[in-house]
Structure 1
Amino acid sequence: MPAAKPLLEVSGLTRRFGGLTAVAGLDLKVAEGEFVSVIGPNGAGKTTAFNLISGLDKPDEGTVRFDGADVAGRPPEAIARAGLLRTFQHGRVFANLSVADNVLVGAHRRLKAVRPDWPVIGPLAELALALVRPASVRREEEALREEVREILAIFGDRLLPRIDQPAYSLSYANRRRVEIARALAARPKLLLLDEPTAGMNQTETAEMLEILAGLKARGQTILLIEHKLDMVMRLSDRVVVLDDGKTIAEGLPQAVRNDPAVIEAYLGHGGVGAASPAGSPASAVERATVQA
């Protein structure tokens, strides 16, 4: 059976900040329907790579091909319109908007009743349509609001009961959930998740794991950055390991978990048996390496 054609293909991606090379010649492929995780010690270049892929930063060298088109250096809104959506390390929501309206923002690029690329529609006409709200606009908004409820239902009872509450009233974990829901509303071809469980407790992390497993089962293509390696090992089809901006290992979770270069990157030259503070990245890798 032939290998699936890559939905995302990164080649030679490089970003320098003065004398520091944050990402050095990164090669990365993600096929449609695949769940790929990017791991590595703090400062390995993971979020910088996401910024380059999603258009928040421009590479010094290299290419980013998404769905057949070279998007390296294009504006983030253009990349998002192409179907590549992302979340951030620290959840970003519109604090004064309701949960529902936050998620509706993610669907704006799919609106058909009013399209900003219509040559006959200018800014004043768009404003008039928004104020008058003709039947076509109302019907589309009603359909989208029903879709928002379906998306929020993915998160169990965490968000639906709060659908009309302002985002500023939500817990930190629920803000992270809203951010993911907003990205899903855009119907992404590829979803980039930057540490979606950062700051979450054990129960919240377990809930997020189940949510991501559900998205994977539905065929959602996902590229994940995550420090909680038990989640990475359970969800990933492949794992890519970065250190000092370079790929030091790539492959199936089991193989990567036991790769000496990965163990050394986290633990140093002391090896798996080296002492490390409980809860540190070193002990996390040690547990992921030793346990099944």
Structure 2
Amino acid sequence: MPLLEITGLTRRFGGLTAVDAVSLHLTAGETLSIIGPNGAGKTTLFNLISGIDIPDTGTVCLGGHSLGGLTPERIAALGLARTFQHGRVFGNLSVRDNVLIGAHARLRAARPGLPLVGPLVELALALVRPAAVAAEEQALADEVTAILGRFGERLLPRIDQPAHSLSYANRRRLEIARALMLRPRLLLLDEPTAGMNPTETAEMLEVIRGLKDDGLSMLLIEHKLELVMALSDRVMVLDGGAVIAEGMPAAVRADPRVIEAYLGRRHSAEREPPPLAAQQFAHQLEATS
């Protein structure tokens, strides 16, 4: 059974079909990259998988469990974590506390999850702090240190600093660290290197490669094709919300439909230069060939 199985997922906004009957599967330990022009529906697909948005039709199953109708919190408890295209951190909280938030679905001693009286019990445990709660807090603190260590010296020396004081690249790293604190079965990364320079991109490549080597299953949205080609077991291409190509990275890179999706026939017909993003994509295709 695939870890993630999506069938016929569709999302419409008025007359616009943002995701058009998309189906995919992901096996445990696999990295699947989703690429496509701006506006192809990639982030909307992530929103549907993670429960932030609701599909018009189609199903999403994680580990055999249907995610239909579940809240993002319940989906997270099933082992799905994600990052966002535009990094989201809690600016007034420390780096440490931002990462600890990622463990919210895993708490047992401090958050027994009792119906009705649960909030009162949690308050009492926070005030009394019995041995089980203290032990859980220490274990989580050790885990925060280990996760931040994946990013070298970028975050650990800043563990007690507020997140708003971090550079843009470090806020992106912090968001990934928070997602890892969930101990996800499946990690969704939405453009993790957006806005990063070549050095920062190379560092992020090594971080994601380390996660892949550890056997973590990942869905990756990324525009930097050198990173896609280095990390992906398979690549899926969206255009206009629909899947136009899927397969091994080298085969997808050479698919005429993929090149046309970025460059488009109309530009050559009108003798107009393609958009800058399309030109950059074409250059990346040549560089990775």
TM bracket, shorter-chain basis? over 0.9
Aligned match of 2:2: 6
Superposition deviation, residue 275 in structure 1: 5.2
Count the aligned residue pairs.
Answer: 284
Out of 97, 104, 107, the position equivalent to 1:108 is 104
CA contact (8 A) 1:9 1:29 kept: yes
Superposition deviation, residue 285 in structure 1: 2.4
Matched, 1:85 2:110: no
Cα distance between partner residues in 2 of 1:14 and 1:73: 15
Cα distance between partner residues in 1 of 2:249 and 2:68: 28
Kindly report which structure 2 residues correspond to 1:127-206, keeping only aligned pairs within 5 A, or say none.
Answer: 127-206=123-202
Aligned match of 1:253: 249
Give TM-score scaled by structure 2 length.
0.94
Out of 192, 205, 208, the position equivalent to 2:204 is 208
1:249 partner amino acid: A
Give TM-score scaled by structure 1 length.
0.93
Percent pairwise identity: 66
**Runs of 5+ unmatched residues, structure 2:** none
Kindly report which structure 2 residues correspond to 1:263-278, keeping only aligned pairs within 5 A, or say none.
Answer: 263-269=259-265, 276=274
CA contact (8 A) 2:2 2:27 kept: yes
Cα distance between partner residues in 1 of 2:233 and 2:122: 44
CA contact (8 A) 2:73 2:105 kept: no
Q: Secondary structure at the match of 1:177?
A: helix
Q: Note the alpha carbon deviations across 1:230-286, whole angstroms, 9 max, x for none.
A: 111111000000000000000000000000000000011268xx9556xx3222321
Aligned match of 2:218: 222
CA contact (8 A) 2:188 2:220 kept: yes
Superposition deviation, residue 144 in structure 1: 0.8
Q: Secondary structure at the match of 1:206?
A: helix
Out of 95, 98, 102, the position equivalent to 2:91 is 95
2:101 partner amino acid: V
1:43 partner amino acid: G
Matched, 1:49 2:45: yes
Which stretch shifts more, 262-271 or 112-121? 112-121
Q: Secondary structure at the match of 1:12?
A: strand
Matched, 1:22 2:13: no
**Runs of 5+ unmatched residues, structure 1:** none
Q: Secondary structure at the match of 1:109?
A: coil
Cα distance between partner residues in 2 of 1:117 and 1:134: 17
CA contact (8 A) 2:111 2:118 kept: no
2:76 partner amino acid: A
Cα distance between partner residues in 2 of 1:236 and 1:60: 29
2:66 partner amino acid: D
CA contact (8 A) 1:21 1:245 kept: yes
1:65 partner amino acid: C
Which stretch shifts more, 193-202 or 238-247? 193-202
